[in-house]
Every structure is written in structure tokens, then in C-alpha cells.
């Protein structure tokens, strides 16, 4: 049974430390806007965007989350049913990179996807507009997907690619939400990853319409926390 005509909703969760630019990336991608005065996200929110992937119209639901670890354990209800998880750090802040691992683990624990090994992640290093590297950055998607990182980039780029490879070849992008660098490209890959994940989930299900419901009715572990 083909699922071509079904309306697909792809759920994408964006995680990372406070202030790395999660909200900015999302707004740049969806609304083509950047503001220096986004308030710190409290709780969670999402934006939706329709995208065409190889003639298929899909709706991406991008979940923006609070970057403070302190608040994470409360709001994990929306992790469930995710099709892709984006890990964001600030290329100028090494601490925000160091925490990526724990964000990833936290996600896997809370979302508990069917197959954690193959669950798609994408890593984004944001704020490449800052500092002296400003003008050097423009790495093609293909190079990134192959894990080839131009060594002119900041040190963290190398570390990031190492990290990504160690996690099973996670796609990696360096972006500037402020100057709209690489943002489209990153999200296109995110969308493809998410769609692939969604379709993989559909294999085990002959009734496409119930796919979303299955996800929604995922056992409530938190139990009215």
C-alpha cells in the first residue's frame, strides 16, 4: 500500500543549551526573520512549515525548547513521536558543544524511539557570523554529508565532525541564523532524515492514518507529572 497521497507530519525536536540560537534558527527557516531580541524560550513551542521533498508535500513541525537543563525533565511530553532530533550548539562556546552528548542521551531516554541506534540526529553549529571566521564559511552540503570538513573552520568543526562520526555519521552543519547561512540546507537534510524515519515507521503499519495516532498514544510514562 502506497502512502504517497497521505499528508505527512514530520515532528522535529530542536535541543541545545540556552542561548545557542534554537529559536533564531527556527524563525530564520520558517519566517525568514532574525531578531537579536528573542526572549529566552520558556517551556516549549513549535512552528510548522510545509516543504516539498521530491514531489512530496510534507508538513514539518519544528519544536523549539527551553535550553535550560533545569527545565527539561518536566516537558518531555512532546519528545514522543519525534522523527528527527536537531542538536544545536554555539561555535563560539565550547561548553555548549560539550553538552551535546547529554542532550542526545536525554532525548533517547525520554523519546524512547523504537530503534535508538538508527534514530536520525542532525548537529548544527550556529553563530558562525561572529568573530574573525565570519567570511570564510561556506561549506557545501555534500562535503558535510561525507563528513569532510574544511579545516579553515573553527576548531570545533573538527571536533564536531569527530563527534558526529562517532555517533554513526550524524549530518553536521555550520550555520548563521542571523545571516541565513546554510540554514535552508540544514533543514532540507533534517526534513529528508525525518521523512525517511517516518516511512521506516510505516513499514510496520498497513494503515497509514493511524501512524500518528500510534505515536500520540504512546504509553504515558510520566503519568501526569
Partner 1 sequence: MTAQPTPRGPPSPTASFYDLSDDEEGEYNTIRHSSSGKGVKLLYTKSKVYVHPTPSAKDNIPGFIALVQQKAAISNDARPPSSSSAKPTTSSSLLLAWMPESSLGDAYDTYVKVDLSDSASPPRQSYLVPPPPTTTAHGHAVGAYAFAVPVSEVYSLLIRPPSIGWYFGSVVINTRAGDSFPALFFHDSECQSTIMQRKKLAKESFDPFGDGGGMFWGGDEVLRWLKRYVAVERSADPSTFLIAPSDEDKVSFGSKSPAMKKREQEEASSSSAQQKRDGGMDGLTKTLKEARWNFLEKLSQVTTFTRRTAEAVAESKNIPPQVRRLLKNPEVQTLQDEFDSARIYLARWAMGIAEQSERERTQRIWTAKDVLEMEDSEVGEFEILDVESSAAAAEKRKPVTMKEWKGFFDSKGTLQVTPDEVKERIFHGGLDLNDGVRKEAWLFILGVYNWDSDSEERQAYMNSRRDEYIRLKGAWWERMIEGHSTPEENEYWKDQKNRIDRHIPIFEGEDIPHPDPDSPFAETGTNVHLEQMKDMLLTYNEYNKDLGYVQGMSDLLAPIYAVMQDDAVAFWCFERNFLRDQSGMRKQLMTLDHLVQLVDPKLYLHLEKADSNNFFFFFRMLLVWYKREFEWLDVLRLWEALWTDYLSSNYHLFVAVAILEKHRDVIMQHLQHFDEVLKYINELSNTMDLPSTLVRAESLFRRFQRTVEAVDKKHSFPSPSVRQRKPEASSTSNVGASSGTSSGRTPANGTKPSTGAEKERVISPELRGLLSRKVEKLNKEEIQAHGGGVGP
Closest CA to 141 of 192, 197, 102, 106: 192
> What is the total count of residues that contact partner 1 (CB under 8 A)?
42
Question: Which residue, 67 or 171, has its beta carbon nearer to partner 1?
Answer: 67
At 29, list the grid cell: 527557516
Q: Is 208 in the site for partner 1 (CB under 8 A)?
A: no
Find all residues with CB under 8 Å of 215, minimum gap 6, and list them: 11, 80, 81
Site residues for partner 1, 54-83, by CB under 8 A, read 61, 66-68, 70-71, 73-75, 77-78
Which of 3, 6, 18, 208 is close enough to bind partner 1 by CB under 8 A? Answer: 18
CA distances for 219 relative to 40, 71, 82, angstroms: 31, 22, 15
Question: Which residue, 156 or 161, has its beta carbon nearer to partner 1?
Answer: 156
Q: Least CB distance from residue 158 to partner 1, whole Å?
A: 21
What is the per-residue binding string for partner 1 in 91-130, x denoting contact by CB under 8 A? -xx-x-------------------------------x-xx
Question: Which residue, 4 or 39, has its beta carbon nearer to partner 1?
Answer: 39
Which of 5, 39, 203, 204 is close enough to bind partner 1 by CB under 8 A? Answer: 39
The residues that touch partner 1, with contacts defined as CB under 8 A, are 18-19, 30-31, 36-48, 61, 66-68, 70-71, 73-75, 77-78, 92-93, 95, 127, 129-131, 178, 216-217, 220, 222, 224-225
Amino acid at each position: 500500500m502506497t502512502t504517497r497521497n497521505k499528508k505527512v507530519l514530520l515532528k522535529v525536536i530542536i535541543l541545545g543549551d540556552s542561548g545557542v540560537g534554537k529559536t533564531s534558527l527556527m524563525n530564520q527557516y520558517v519566517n525568514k526573520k532574525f531578531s537579536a531580541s528573542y526572549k529566552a524560550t520558556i517551556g516549549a513551542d513549535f512552528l510548522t512549515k510545509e516543504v516539498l521533498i521530491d514531489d512530496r508535500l510534507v508538513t514539518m513541525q519544528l519544536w523549539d525548547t527551553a535550553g535550560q537543563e533545569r527545565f527539561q525533565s518536566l516537558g518531555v511530553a512532546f519528545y514522543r513521536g519525534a522523527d528527527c532530533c536537531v542538536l544545536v550548539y554555539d561555535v563560539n562556546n565550547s561548553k555548549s558543544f560539550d553538552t551535546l552528548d547529554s542532550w542526545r542521551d536525554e532525548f533517547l531516554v525520554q523519546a524512547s524511539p523504537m530503534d535508538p541506534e538508527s534514530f536520525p540526529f542532525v548537529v548544527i553549529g550556529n553563530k558562525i557570523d561572529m568573530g574573525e571566521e565570519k567570511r570564510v564559511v561556506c561549506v557545501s552540503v555534500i562535503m558535510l554529508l561525507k563528513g569532510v570538513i574544511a579545516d579553515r573552520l573553527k576548531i570545533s568543526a573538527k571536533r564536531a565532525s569527530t563527534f558526529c562520526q562517532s555517533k554513526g555519521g550524524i549530518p553536521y552543519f555550520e550555520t548563521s541564523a542571523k545571516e541565513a547561512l546554510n540554514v535552508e540546507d540544514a533543514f532540507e537534510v533534517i526534513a529528508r532524515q525525518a521523512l525517511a524515519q517516518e516511512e521506516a515507521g510505516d513499514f510496520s503499519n498497513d494503515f497509514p492514518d493511524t501512524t500518528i495516532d500510534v505515536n500520540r498514544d504512546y504509553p504515558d510514562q510520566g503519568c501526569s507529572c
